[in-house]
Amino acid sequence: MPWITIQWHFNSLFADSNSIFWNVLVPPLLFAIHGFIATWMAVWCLFHPYNAIFVPGTRIQLPLTPGIFPKRRSKLSQAVAATVTETLLTTADIRTKVETLLTESNIYLSVDLFIESVLVEFRDITKLHRLASDVAELSPTLLHHILDSTIDSIETGKDRRLATMVSKIFDELILSAKITSDQAEAISAFLMDTLVTPAKIRAALLALLSPANISALDDSIQNHAGTAYKILAKLIGIKRVCYECRNFLEKETHESQRVIGDLIKRFNIQDQITNQIANFDLRSLPLQTISRCKENLVIFVESFLVTYRNDLLQAVNKIESEAMASVRAAIVHFNPASIPPTWINRIKQDLAHFAYLYLNRELGVLLEKAIPALGMYSLIAQKIDLFSAEQIEDVVKRICHQELLWLEIFGGIIGFFLGILQILVNAMH
């Protein structure tokens, strides 16, 4: 009978104290120690040895050297990087988080902090002078680079920012500009002294009354004028009169210039020019004319920059010291206290509102470009791959120290129960 047999074995097993120690207590303890050590060795082999071990005198590498984590460090880094970028920190997650934080109030706080920090820096005289010197030294190079890159963009036709800028200046300043009476008088005086002089008017009349032009005038009257005007022209002798005027202008130089000067005074030419200039308004011109003027101004500015590129760049190099001095003086004499608080608050609000509208509109495009450019996968993989074996062990143990310890204890517990099972098996026999 099995039960009687098991009972007999137990009785024989516990016959004396020496037998109890060796047959009952020792096996569970040995199995528990074996399970604990085996589990501890398994955990130890995850990280150790740090480097490969070879059979002495050969190139034969011992198995399980180096440890599992040191040996698979490259694959571990790629797996962690893939997990972080594809599961834990995806582009959609980043965009959702950024959209949550992207409020006008948050942007205003950032703008306010930035402007206040800048104003504080400007109040520090030492830092202000140092900033002025640094920016002044950079200004010639920056100006040269801006001018050079702008002209390059104009030549290639890839950038229309200058054309847009000139158009806005034309619309906001030139189109609405009004010449004052004093300015009109100064301009008319300049024109009278340089262009509308008796000598130049005499030269212009001589060029106008050339024999070819006189013949053309007579032919035009005969072919296109009415009968009465043809008869009047014959009576007066238009051709003869023109030739007499030409002879007078050509032969009587001083006299003709004196006559022209007297006529200029009598006709009040300067006053008429002054009135025309003072009353001139571009906005009174037809829209098509205004548009053509703006286009011509843009073409003129772009052509001027491209044509005189080398001269402009040389001029920038020549005014290097003046540019540095001007920038330095402008920064040093800047006084933040002179700025009205209401103006500063309005600037903060305008900047925050502009940044909010821009980011709210372009956030998706910016993140699509920025996140791949950051190279999160490569960065994480590279960082982990640069970890030493000791660092990997330290990181893993810091994360799951308790779990690894309990794993070793659990191995001892399993060994203990296997020892008890062994006693039962022996008792059955």
| 233 and 163 co-located in one domain | no
Considering the domain architecture, whether residues 144 and 256 belong to the same structural domain is answered as no
Lowest mean pLDDT among 83-87, 257-261, 284-288: 83-87
Give, in order, the Cα–Cα distances in Å from 364 to each of 99, 371, 373: 10, 11, 14
Residues 240 and 173 in one domain: no
**If DSSP codes are grouped into helix, strand and coil, which group holds residue 224?**
helix
Instruction: State pLDDT tens for residues 27-72.
Output: 777 777 777 777 777 777 666 776 777 777 777 776 667 766 676 6
Tens digits of residue pLDDT in 319-339: 777 777 777 777 666 666 667
Of 36-40, 183-187, 279-283, 354-358, the range with the lowest mean pLDDT is 36-40
Going 66 to 72 to 73 to 74, the CA torsion angle's sign is positive
- Within 8 A by CB and 6+ apart from 261, the residues are 198
What is the DSSP code (8-state) at residue 388? -
Same domain, 232 and 198: yes
What is the predicted pLDDT for the residue at 238? 79
pLDDT per residue over 165-175, tens digit each? 888 888 887 87
On the question of pLDDT at 9 being above 50, the answer is: no
Q: Is residue 398 part of a domain?
A: no
Average pLDDT over residues 290-309: 86
102 or 271: which carries more pLDDT confidence?
271
* Total count of domains within the chain: 2
- Note whether 254 and 192 are same-domain residues: yes
Q: Is residue 401 part of a domain?
A: no
Highest mean predicted confidence (pLDDT) among 153-157, 240-244, 376-380: 240-244
Evaluate whether residue 333 is within a structural domain: yes
Of 114-118, 257-261, 274-278, 424-428, which range is least confident? Answer: 424-428
Q: Of the residues 231, 247, 280, which one is the last residue of a structural domain? A: 280
In angstroms, the CA 171 to CA 105 distance is: 34
Confidence of residue 15 (pLDDT cuts 50, 70, 90): very low
User: Which run of H or E residues covers position 411?
Assistant: helix 389-428
Domain, as residue range, for 145: 124-178+282-338
Q: How many CB atoms lie within 10 A of CB 243?
A: 14
pTM: 0.41
List residues bridging with 61 in a β-sheet: 54
Token look-up 């950051």 returns 374
Q: 277: burial class by Cβ within 10 Å (0-12, 13-18, 19+)?
A: middle
Higher pLDDT, 297 or 9: 297
| Judgement on whether residues 274 and 128 belong to the same structural domain of the protein | no
pLDDT(5) > 50: no
Considering Cα of 380, then 386, then 391, then 393, what sign does the dihedral take? positive
Residue 133 pLDDT grade (very low, low, confident, very high; cuts 50, 70, 90) = confident
Considering the domain boundaries, does residue 377 fall inside one? no
Which of 230, 245, 280 lies at the terminal end of a domain, its last residue?
280
> What is the pLDDT confidence band of residue 373, given thresholds at 50, 70 and 90?
low
Residue indicated by tokens 């004196």: 258
Most confidently predicted of 23-37, 92-106, 265-279: 265-279
Residue 234 and residue 421: Cα distance in Å, rounded? 147
Has residue 292 been placed in a domain?
yes
Q: Is residue 254 part of a domain?
A: yes
Extract the tokens encoding 177. 């500009």
Same domain for 163 and 212? no
Q: Mean of the per-residue pLDDT values for the chain? A: 75
Residues 202 and 266 in one domain: yes
State the pLDDT confidence band at 14, using cuts at 50, 70 and 90. very low
pLDDT exceeds cutoff 70 at 368: no
More confidently predicted of 65 and 372: 65
Give 1's pLDDT tier (boundaries 50, 70, 90): very low
Catalogue the long-range contacts made by 383-386 (C-beta closer than 8 Å, 24 or more residues apart): 383/77, 384/73, 384/76, 384/77, 384/80, 384/81, 385/73, 385/74, 385/77
Q: What's the mean pLDDT in 10-30? A: 57
Instruction: Determine the pLDDT at residue 8.
Output: 44
The pLDDT of residue 406: 66
Q: Report yes or no on 222 lying in a domain.
A: yes
Picking from 338, 354, 383, the residue at the C-terminal end of a domain is: 338
Residue 54 has phi, psi (to 5 degrees) of -115, 155
- State whether 286 and 272 are in the same domain: no
pLDDT band at 140 (very low <50, low <70, confident <90, very high): confident
Mean pLDDT of 122-130: 69
How far apart CA 111 and CA 108 sit, in angstroms, is 5
Question: What local confidence, expressed as pLDDT, does residue 220 receive?
Answer: 85
What is the secondary structure of 254-270 as a DSSP string? HHHHHHHHHHHHHTTHH
Backbone CA torsion sign across 420, 424, 425, 429: positive
273 and 286 together in one domain: no
Of the listed ranges 14-23, 99-108, 185-194, 316-325, the one predicted with least confidence: 14-23
Work out the percent of the chain whose per-residue pLDDT is above 90. 0
Residue 10 has pLDDT above 50, yes or no: no
Helices (H), 308-388: 309-318, 320-332, 341-374, 376-385
The tens digit of pLDDT for each residue in 218-238 reads 888 888 777 777 777 777 777
Domain co-membership, 172 together with 287: yes
Is position 407 within any domain? no
Specify whether 150 is located in the same domain as 266: no
Residue 151 banded pLDDT, cuts 50, 70, 90 = confident
